[in-house]
Structure 1
Amino acid sequence: MVLQRLLLGSARQAILGSAEVAFWGLKSIKGSYHNFCTAECKDVTYTELKSLLKSKKIMLIDVRETWEILEYGKIPGSVNIPLDDVGKALQMSPKDFKEKYNEVKPSQSDSLVFSCLAGVRSKKALNTAVSLGFNSAQHYAGGWKEWATYEFSEKKQGN
């Protein structure tokens, strides 16, 4: 009986101890990822994006589907590359990119900003770009919804 308790206690401690170590490992990975992401994957605000577009120092890539842009509109100066095509587009030759998107292909050191409707797809595009070495990539979390809200309210106030 005492031997059984010892064996059970040892087994339980071994199992729980392993689980605790595994859990701690996940927490530290999560923390590292979070720190990496906030340092490298900065979100751009409406005001920052507006300023960046005026400076012409970025390429703004709208990752919505083409029909969405035709139906709802787009941020002036943005290039439409649907989310499913982003990885392939960023790996194209400069000649093929120019032919398909009518823009100069960005280099890995160029500043990119991804946008979509409300920030979900643009975040995925950002992750794809970063995984391909585009370390100056950013994302406009507000997307077309926020942009349109600001732009249309500014135009009403100006009239």
Structure 2
Amino acid sequence: MKMFHRKVCVVCVVCVVVGLVGTLVMTEEQFCSDGSINTSCKQKAHSLYEEDVDSVSYEQLKQMLTAGNLQLFDVREPDEFKEGAIPGATNIPLSEVQQAFTLTPEQFTQLYGVLMPEKHSPDVMLYCQRGRRSLTALHTVHKLGYSRACHYVGGYSEWLERESQ
């Protein structure tokens, strides 16, 4: 029973951290005997999770990069960014996202070397290594009024894998 409560607590903490609006309540029957969530529950949670998220696939990102005008922000740490990044990306670590997107346009440009995006621009894209930090960053910028911002779910890991094929 302790494992069940620990799993429920982890699910609740994740829901709060990510900023989900709804409450995710699971019964004991929705857990496997080892305490993991049944696959059907995972799929339901995933669909709830994805409904309010603007996610972009590798193929969509490639098209957007080709079309131009995309402002691509890498929310990984500077040392990760230095090891490799999607071409044209600007590094704004997750810990700086809230502060960065509340700066004046002049401060933003001075600090990050690019123009600050317009709040309702559809050309704002966030990514990280695997899509988790960029999802957190996406929720942050959405709350700041960047309502059309998106994130690349595959992250740099998928980008690197797909580009090397």
Q: Could you state the TM-score of these two structures normalised by the residue count of structure 1?
A: 0.71
1:95-126 CA-partner distances (Å, limit 9, x unpaired) = 11111111000111112111000011000000
Percentage of pairs with the same residue:
35
- State the shift of 1:58 in Å: 2.2
1:29 equivalent in alignment to 2:22: yes
Q: Tell me what 2:55 maps to.
A: 43
How big is each residue's C-alpha offset from its partner over 1:60-82, in whole Å with a ceiling of 9 and x where there is no partner? 110001111112x0000111100
Structure 2: segments with no counterpart, 5+ residues:
1-20, 25-46
Give the whole-Å Cα distance in 2 for the aligned partners of 1:30 and 1:54.
39
Are residue 82 (structure 1) and residue 93 (structure 2) matched? yes
Q: How many residues align?
A: 123
Is residue 102 of structure 2 the alignment partner of residue 91 of structure 1?
yes
Deviations 1:40-89 (A, max 9, x none): 52210001001111112321110001111112x00001111000001111
Q: What is the identity, as a one-letter code, of the residue corresponding to 1:145?
A: S
| Higher-helix-fraction structure | 1
Q: Hey, what's the Cα distance between the residues in 2 that align with 1:58 and 1:41?
A: 18
Instruction: State the structure with more CA Rg.
Output: 1
Aligned Cα root-mean-square deviation (Å) = 2.1
Q: Which runs of 5+ in 1 are unaligned?
A: 1-27, 154-159
The equivalent of 2:132 in structure 1 is 120
Instruction: Name the counterpart of 1:138.
Output: 150
Query: Which amino acid in the other structure matches residue 62 of structure 2?
Result: K
TM-score normalised over the length of structure 2 = 0.69
